[in-house]
Amino acid sequence: MSQPDPDAWRRQVRQWLATVLEPAPAPESTAQAADLAVFHNLPEDEERLLLDRCRAYQRARFDAGYQALTLPEDKGGAGLSAAHVAVFAQEESAFEVPPSTELISVTVRLVAMAVSLFGTDEQRHGHARAFLRTDLLACQLFSEPGAGSDLAALRTRARQDGDEWVIDGQKVWTSGAQFADYGLLLARTDPDVVKQAGITAFLVPMDAPGVEVRPIRQMSGGASFNEVFLNGVRVPDRLRIGRPGQGWEVANATLAFERTASGSGNRRKGGTFPDVLALARSLGRTGDPLVRQRLADLYVRAALRAATVDRVARTSAAGGRPGPEASLTKLMASELLTRTGQVAAELMGARISADTGEPGTFAWTQHLLGAPGYRLAGGTDQIQRNLIGERVLKLPPEPRVDRAPFSQLPGD
């Protein structure tokens, strides 16, 4: 089936967006009022209201056929190219889109895609479609206290009992778990093979007996992350995603989608170059040659990141799984966030340590406290560099000492 011409399709997208959204305000009118937080820091009732706004837009987008644009039609998507994704993002940026949340992004761009690619026809119809439309929300139950960067070392266990699996373990740093209907969980089902081969993926109902969610209070004051404890949780085999032992493949595809989402810039995270420039102007610092040099450097890095995101999007195969190039955009995104906060802090000096009432100053603390966490989400910067080195630059891999069956590794 031939794909629509991107230019003609652009006009169609613009007309539809105008029916559901208001035009975006001028950049200069939002510079001082911008939300500079990297991660949301809202009370529970406000977070629920934000989720409702996000879900209303996602449902309208799904119903109009603009959700999961590159996912093949037989898997519930639109079957379009990465160029169409870029066109949609460009047109969407001209409108006031409800600010998204980590949970919405995880549901639509990670879990829904994983279930669409690896799930059965029944799972695609009953769950993936509901995730894409946000009728159901899903969190990601991957990281554990002892298995973050080395995710394959996870120790949450699942043993089969008839037509059910019994799961015991602990997950951590789970965004939005307190609001999610399901969690995409990785568990060890075979300890007698190498660690990557003995993992299976499941959809776990978050209201199942034995699931306990405990919010983690962050240094910024919010609690958008959670610990999740699983004690004898029974999950029917029909909620297993992929074959037993295929969990590592599911995880790699999901993490690639996460890195693409993290690095794409489709959702504002923290302060941006225009925010820093507005700050420098408000403080009367733009005449300082050193400040101008730092601003120019920040601008160039932001432009390079945008160009790289566009290049990766345009060269991605339509409907294919993101490759290791996603690590590059993720790494650039986290480094840009860090540098943006550093330049803002240098401009303000002591102003950033206390709220003096000056607009757009103390608010930068939300950016500074959140940016380090973004260097961990979706895989640490060090992991991204390893992936780029080994899979993009084809450098020799690092020495490995964990090739034995998982049950024979130290600490098991």
**What positions carry a catalytic annotation?**
258
Q: Which long-range contacts (CB under 8 A, 24 or more apart) does 43-49 make?
A: 44/178, 47/101, 47/179, 47/224, 48/179
Instruction: Please state, in angstroms and rounded to a whole number, the distance separating the CA atoms of residues 99 and 86.
Output: 19
Find the DSSP H helices in 172-288: 247-264, 273-282
Q: Which two tokens stand for residue 277?
A: 């420039």
Q: Which residues pair with 141 in a beta bridge?
A: 185
Site of tokens 């906060």 = 341
Q: What is the distance between the alpha carbons of residues 5 and 39, in angstroms, rounded to a whole number? A: 37
3-state secondary structure 361-378: CCCHHHHHHHHHHHCCCC
Q: Which residue is it, tokens 């489709």?
A: 266
Instruction: Of 359, 336, 329, give the one whose Cα is nearest residue 272.
Output: 336
Name the 3-class secondary structure at 228. Answer: strand
H or E segment and range at residue 329: helix 325-348
β-bridge mates for residue 202, sequence order? 185, 240
* Residue 408, Cβ density class (10 Å: 0-12 exposed, 13-18 middle, ≥19 buried): exposed
CA atoms of 96 and 313, how far apart (whole Å)? 23
